[in-house]
Amino acid sequence: MSVAYFRTPVGIARITEEEGFIASVSIRDEEYDIEPAPTPLLQAAIDELNEYFAGTRKQFTFPIKQEGSEFQQQVWDELVQIPYGTTITYAQQSNQMNNPLAIRAIASANGRNNLWVVVPCHRVIGSNGSLTGYAGGIWRKKWLLEHEAKVMGVGQTKLDF
């Protein structure tokens, strides 16, 4: 496993590569030494994430693969379908998955997502518009949603955050 760290506007991101795939992207509060990426794939991921934060990239193209159950994989596949700059509720996600009674299980799978920003669980909100349950911290979820809204030219979103 190879690892790279890079600075984002909301903290230090840690990216791991395993067997030719980006396996995780996580955000950290701690400081880490920022050094050149040890592999071309890690550098490609850093470049695309920097483009996301610059507002010039809305979809990621590097190969990803995270470990999880079949159900978790289905939940994560659904997350990558959420368009940039938009949000859905957990209830909407469960309905899109034809599993309206699985809201809590879906929320739990969202929380186990290891590909921060790339698999955009930050775009899923509570039914009342609240910013609920985000491993990176609610303030980061708010920042990401506001960033995407700004890039889309929406300005202040209609969500109450």
Q: Which residues are catalytic?
A: 121
pLDDT score of 32: 83
**In the chain, which residues have pLDDT < 70?**
154-161
37 backbone dihedrals φ, ψ, rounded to 5°: -60, 135
Q: How many domains does the chain have?
A: 2
Does residue 63 belong to any structural domain of this protein?
Answer: no
Question: Do 49 and 118 have their domain in common?
Answer: no
30 and 85 co-located in one domain: no
pLDDT score recorded for residue 112? 95
15: Cβ contacts below 8 Å, ≥ 6 apart: 3, 4, 5, 6, 22, 24, 25, 42, 45, 46, 49
Which pLDDT value is given to residue 66? 96
- Say if 134 falls within a structural domain: yes
Give the domain range for residue 137.
70-151
pLDDT of residue 60: 97
* E strand or H helix at 157: none
In a domain, 147, yes or no: yes
Predicted local distance difference test score (pLDDT) of residue 31: 85
Domain shared by 143 and 85, yes or no: yes
Pair 46, 78 in one domain? no
